[in-house]
Amino acid sequence: MTLLAQYYVPGLHVEDRSVAVPLDWSGHEPGRGFDGDSLRLFYRVVTSPEHVHDELPLLVYLQGGPGGEGPRPLNPTSDGWIAEAVKHFRVVLPDQRGTGRSSRIDAQVMERMAGAGARAQADYLKLFLADSIVRDFEHLRRTEFGGAPWVTLGQSYGGFLTLTYLSLYPEGVAASFTCGGIPHVPADATEVYEHTFPRMAAKTAQFYERYRVDEERVAAVAEKLPTVAEVAATGEGWLPAGTPVLPNGDPLTVERLQCLGSDFGMKPSFERVHWIFDEAFLDGDGSASADSALSAPFLEKVMAATSSRPLYWPLQEFIYANGELDEPIRWAAQRVRDEHPAFGTGRRPLTFTGEAMFPWMFNQEKALRPFRPAMDLLMEDTRFGVIYDADQLARNEVPLQAAVYFDDMYVDSLMQLDTLSRVGNSHYWTTNEFEHDGNHGPSVFKRLYQEALDRGDLESLF
């Protein structure tokens, strides 16, 4: 076990550690030695100060994403679930491969690989999906923590990883918790977006109902922007006259403005977007104006709100790819969007889009352009790693407690419940009190933990 550093943040003791894992798990088994290319898997072990020397059971946090690094806690309450978890567990916070400090992937890495060709880039990206992530964690458990089963807590995409873990290595898990993250099994990217685009339209309507002034503001901004097609028609390196440019050089198009809705499934996202548009106009008192230029603070905030982690958009649709596909994914979100006229760039009021990636992103966003050659190939691929075993899940014996948010914008609640009906030893709590990020507050994990404790699901740990 490589200890890199240890220190305290207020209310928490932190150890920074890393371990080597195979780049490609083909032909390798977690917990055993391996040869060939490797990555560094970075992780933290976090405890409350009074438990630094106590051998508490382990809880490993499966971060949301895809492409999500582990939390960087400021204190026990900065990510609400941690305060409760450290009362009972040593908490392991890994950076999933390719993120944070775990052999990070970004535009620079893809540019360095360009000489090897698009096929090499695409095959490389396939190694950063759930089947590899879970094998990394199982290797970590077996080699660095003595092989004792641990508890998993999955947030959002972490719930997808949970079902992968229960499919591949159920013996490594004593109990599982998930929050807003039970995928539909069988997995189908198109089906997911067929559910989420109508929900996004409804969220947009709720936003305008709450902040009626923003209907005019959003429309006035949109009228100043070109569409993706208009930018593309001018040729590479050229923009239509007067196109607002974000601080990083990306053009601000109507479609990118619509991406501000990506946050609408979390609280207080309506307020965050409302205040972005509050400062949109430079002149006069800042009221919506066809003549006013867009302000620099507005452009900075739009850039920050619509930019993402380096692997988040490139891997977004491939988290639904399970084994041998019947047909390629072929930009599922764009195909479904094209079937919904409400999302047209000329519609008013303008409808926002949610957690969805589109082909234009990889042409017009500087941070994503190096991924485009690989994306074109991946969208036509049909062979991916196996991430779910429906038969194994049906006979699952590991206690699984899920928080299902009824109004979840990202992971449809009815699809979650359908999956859970076919997962053995699963239990769920359905609520509309929280949005998708409910676990970042103090009460969701506490309730899940108490329910599992009362049912005897954690008896083997304490």
Under a CB-based contact definition with an 8 Å cutoff, are residues 23 and 127 in contact? Answer: yes
Instruction: State pLDDT tens for residues 6-22.
Output: 999 999 999 999 999 99
Q: What is the DSSP string of 351-378?
A: PPP-S---TTHHHH-TTTGGGHHHHHHH
Predicted local confidence at residue 1, as pLDDT: 61
- The tokens for 189 are 């990217």
Instruction: State pLDDT tens for residues 146-201.
Output: 999 999 999 999 999 999 999 999 999 999 999 999 999 999 999 999 999 999 99
What are the helix (H) ranges across 265-357?
269-278, 296-306, 312-315, 332-337
**HEC states along 380-447?**
CCCECCCCCCHHHHHCCCCCEEEEEECCCCCCCHHHHHHHHCCCCCEEEEEECCCCCCHHHCCCHHHH
Amino acid type, 176? S
Give the CA distances from residue 261 to residues 3, 37, 269, 389, in Å, rounded to whole numbers and listed in that order: 41, 40, 8, 34
- The tokens for 407 are 């109004």
Amino acid type, 378? L
Torsion of CA 256, 333, 403, 455, to 10 degrees: -150
Alpha-carbon span 150 to 146, nearest angstrom? 11
Alpha-carbon span 199 to 222, nearest angstrom? 22
**Residue of 78, 16, 21 lying closest to 44 (CA atoms):** 16
Say yes or no: domain 2-104+130-187+387-455 is CATH 3.40.50.1820: yes
Predicted local confidence at residue 240, as pLDDT: 86
Under a CB-based contact definition with an 8 Å cutoff, are residues 194 and 425 in contact? Answer: no
Alpha-carbon span 93 to 71, nearest angstrom? 7
Under a CB-based contact definition with an 8 Å cutoff, are residues 88 and 54 in contact? Answer: no
Instruction: State how far Cα 352 lies from the chain centre.
Output: 19
Q: Is the peptide bond before 310 cis (omega within 30 degrees of 0)?
A: no
Under a CB-based contact definition with an 8 Å cutoff, are residues 455 and 425 in contact? Answer: no
Domain with CATH 3.40.50.1820 in the chain: 2-104+130-187+387-455
Instruction: State pLDDT tens for residues 84-93.
Output: 999 999 999 9
Predicted local confidence at residue 40, as pLDDT: 97
Predicted local confidence at residue 14, as pLDDT: 98
Instruction: State pLDDT tens for residues 39-67.
Output: 999 999 999 999 999 999 999 999 999 99
